[in-house]
A and B are shown apart, each in its own frame.
Chain A
Amino acid sequence: MDALQIRNVSKSFGENKVLSDINMDVRKGEVHALIGENGAGKSTLVKIIGGIYARDAGEILIDGEAVDFKDPLQAMRMGISIVHQELSLVPNATVAENIYLRREITNKAGFNDWNKINQQAAEVFQRINLDVDPTELVGMLSVGMQQLVEVAKAIALNARIVIMDEPTSSLSENEIPDLFRVIRSLRDQGISIIFISHKLTELFEISDRITVLRDGEYVGTVDTAASSSDEIIRMMVGRHLGDLFPQHASQIGDVVFECRGLSLFGRAKDVNFKIRRGEILGLSGLVGAGRTEAMRALVNADKRSSGQFWMNGEEITIENPQDAISKGIYYVSEDRKSSGLFLNSSITWNVAMASLDRMKKALGMLDQSKMRQTAEGFIKTMDVRPADQRVNTGNLSGGNQQKVLLSMALCTEPRLLIVDEPTRGVDIGAKSLIHKRLREIAEQGACVIVISSEMPEIIGMSDRILVFRTGHVSAELDNLRGSVTQEEIMQKATHN
């Protein structure tokens, strides 16, 4: 009997179908890896299993029994525990306190029985073969140890299925063996583990079987021993039907901008690149690989630890985003709602916001009619709907918001435009319009850097591709003829 069976589970958010007909079996006492590109639906599936989201269709069976969780607590009672990427421990409490948080063992008077709590916590650690002092404060432990405390907490809850969402992403190299040792000892005790990770080498080391998701669909499950990383990569990327992308660059000129030794403490390491006139440079890599971090550090939105820049052969400094914009460099955020647009303000204000210096009349008063005209121009060229400059951007659809955000950047007439996930959560029409505009801007002589987690977009748009892995550039691929394959990128993004 399988510990967990998932049968034809589907889930949509609004009109967006994120999971369709997922099937997956997890055996008792196995380490089952779950893998897929960004947005493949792994997290959603995990949240459904853990009772955080409700499924739209399908069924979930635990030990052969159909279950229907109303909330995470029910799932926990049935023996399902999720160890999230963000830890949920209280740093100022001891290890034992954290493990028995809200289930404190009390004595007759109703006070916490610390001896008993510490003793039981110690027993849990013994079970998973780990040497931790239960009276230590959690905040004093390394992130890796904290993660293991989180696992111990799950065990103390008598979890039979432990789900780990990218447990190694915050661990250093020498902490990973500890985690794997704990995982193996749990498996040997008959506990099932669902292990989510992007790192193929790890999956091959720890897992018994691997299930691959792609674009919210179930691709297949393979025995790890009988598979190869090539096979897994092929399953992950599949064959996307060719989206239509504009032509690649017709003419690439001289180097316009050069970046050397760009680092952001702990997040990006020694990033070097050049970009030429008319070129679109794609930054690929998994989420958290340091693409966004590097570009935010470039405009000094997050204070960089090092980096030198040259514009048209002359060394320049970039103090802050304002300074970057004045030197023709514009970074467009990946999150249009929280760090891109002013949602309570009109399209006009949003479009003009980064260019107010050019919208002034006498005495520095704002020239509102010029702002309006500028906005109307962009509404036309970007096909923003509704075509009314007075509408607040909070009331626009995702695609139209993205068009306005891009207009805000284009209004400054940048020489180097950096767009981060320019088509995330955007409909097909807006997507192809944004692609077309980006190519036009490049053809008119600007440089464009596109950060994207969507492989087809990276390959379809970029003339050259930088692949990021763990904070540094792991490969530079020439893609002027669109000859780079997704397998190639995935290989560079996941392998050492």
Chain B
Amino acid sequence: MVLVLINVIIFAIIGIARPTAFLNWLNIKAILSLMSYDLLLAVGITVVLILRGIDLSIGSVLALTSVIMALMMRADMPVLPSLFAGLVLAVVCGLLNGVLIAKLQLLPFLVTLGMMSLARGIATVMTSGQYISFPNTAEWFIAFGRAEIPFWKTETMTYGFPVPLLIALVVVAVFGYFLTNWKPMRQMFFVGQNAEAAKLAGLSVVRITIIGYVICALFVWLASVLMISSNRIGYANYGIASEMRAIAAAVVGGASFFGGSGSIPGTFLGVLMLALIGNGFILLAGDPNWQQATTGLVLILAVAVDAIRTFRERKN
């Protein structure tokens, strides 16, 4: 509830300060479109945070999968096999993270920090840092990333809803339902809350943890597909610092570094909040680089709130 209120307040502040620039459909659409990638990544992060883990490699894996898929399509591979190859690659990264963390009991922070550097490095080597375009790919794939579903027509313009955002929202909503109601996913909350108790209660702690990291990687893959479809290039520098925004959004939305909590609606509101703040800085201050600084600030604040909240619970 507080989050909804904060979002409304930010919306109102920017709306009042810059009514024409902010409150027009093009700007709102831009916010929402950019949000769809962050939303997918943040939902992925939410899953690993629930498991009392963390995944710093999402931005790099995003870049690596984008590069692989783009390179394959550039080599005139059909779209679906290319996307599938990206999917396999993302799953391998997630599995590697999960197995090292759950089976070998390595620290999630360090494992995924390593993966972050590894994936980004490979992507850069494969592309020499160049944009990878794929001009000969099937028309539909290039089209759908920028497609819109028109819902209102006036004389001057057509109001349309971006398809990638729609896909992201639907996937996230369905996933949110499964997360709370489907046994294998709901168990994640309990593994994160108290792994030892979960083990004694007969939960497959190791398997559930690995699955969590794979799910996170799947969301990364989806974000990557939407991104290359919309931008029409693969690039080794995609998603730099996106793990920051995703973690900040998830923690703002109620996920905790101490595991066991987090929710999809909360994460959605967290992503929205960061997107509005980012847009507000562009409109009010002019310098988009402020966005990175504010994301850091929001993350620190959210983590402090999380620590205080957890400390209170422990005391009870």
Contact = CB atoms under 8 A, between A and B. Distances in A.
Interface of A: 299, 301, 320-322, 324-326, 331-333, 338-345, 349, 353-354, 356-357, 359-360, 363-366, 368, 394-395, 408, 412
Contacts of A356: 183, 186-187
Nearest to A361: B181
Interface string B153-193: 00000000000000000000000000001111011011001
Interface stretch (B6-14, B196-204, B215-223, B285-293): B196-204
Given A360-B183, A364-B184, A365-B181, A331 B200 contact: yes
B199 A353 contact: no
Contact of B201 (A343, A353, A360, A364): A353
A39 to B, nearest CB: 24
B199 A301 contact: yes
A354 B201 contact: yes
A279 to B, nearest CB: 23
Nearest to A359: B183
Given A339-B194, A339-B197, A365-B181, 13 more contacts: A301-B199, A301-B200, A331-B200, A340-B197, A340-B200, A342-B198, A343-B194, A353-B201, A354-B201, A356-B187, A360-B183, A364-B182, A364-B183
Contacts of B193: 342-345
Contact of B190 (A320, A338, A342): A342
Interface string B102-141: 0000000000000000000000000000000000000000
A360 B187 CA distance: 13
Given A342-B190, A365-B182, A322 B202 contact: yes
A142 to B, nearest CB: 27
Contacts of A366: 181-183, 186
- From A344, A359, A364, A366, name the one whose CB has the most chain B CB atoms within 10 angstroms: A344
Interface residues of B, number: 23
Interface in B201-230: 201-204
B261 interface: yes
A325 B183 contact: no
- From B184, B186, B200, B202, name the one whose CB has the most chain A CB atoms within 10 angstroms: B200
B253 interface: no
B201 A321 contact: yes
Contacts of B186: 356, 366
Nearest to B199: A321
Contacts of B201: 321, 325, 353-354, 408
Contacts of A345: 189-190, 193
B309 to A, nearest CB: 11
Nearest to A360: B183
A322 B205 CA distance: 10
A344 B261 contact: yes
Contacts of A364: 182-184
Contacts of B182: 363-366
Contacts of A331: 200
- From B189, B190, B313, name the one whose CB has the most chain A CB atoms within 10 angstroms: B190
Given A344-B260, A349-B190, A394-B313, A338 B196 contact: yes
A321 B183 contact: no
Given A353-B190, A356-B187, A366-B182, A344 B313 contact: yes
A284 B193 CA distance: 32
Contacts of A341: 194, 197
Contacts of A321: 199-202
A267 B288 CA distance: 61
Contact of B202 (A332, A340, A354, A363): A354
B24 interface: no
A322 B261 contact: no
A325 B181 contact: no
A169 to B, nearest CB: 24
Contacts of A301: 199-200
A339 B183 contact: no
B316 interface: yes
A395 B194 contact: no
A203 B61 CA distance: 64
Nearest to B203: A322
A345 B190 CA distance: 9
B262 to A, nearest CB: 12
A363 B316 CA distance: 38
Contacts of B190: 342, 345, 349, 353
- From A299, A339, A341, A345, name the one whose CB has the most chain B CB atoms within 10 angstroms: A339
Contacts of B196: 333, 338-339
A106 B122 CA distance: 52
A349 B260 CA distance: 13
Contacts of B197: 333, 338-342
A429 B148 CA distance: 66
- From A326, A349, A365, name the one whose CB has the most chain B CB atoms within 10 angstroms: A365
26 contacts: A301-B199, A320-B199, A321-B202, A324-B202, A325-B201, A325-B202, A331-B200, A332-B200, A333-B197, A338-B194, A338-B196, A338-B197, A339-B194, A341-B197, A342-B198, A344-B260, A345-B193, A353-B190, A353-B198, A353-B201, A356-B187, A359-B183, A364-B182, A365-B181, A366-B181, A368-B181
> Sorted from nearest, which 8 A-B pairs have the closest CB atoms?
A325-B202, A339-B196, A322-B202, A354-B201, A353-B201, A365-B181, A342-B193, A354-B202
Nearest to B256: A344
B194 A342 contact: yes
A98 B261 CA distance: 42
B80 to A, nearest CB: 27
Interface string B31-51: 000000000000000000000
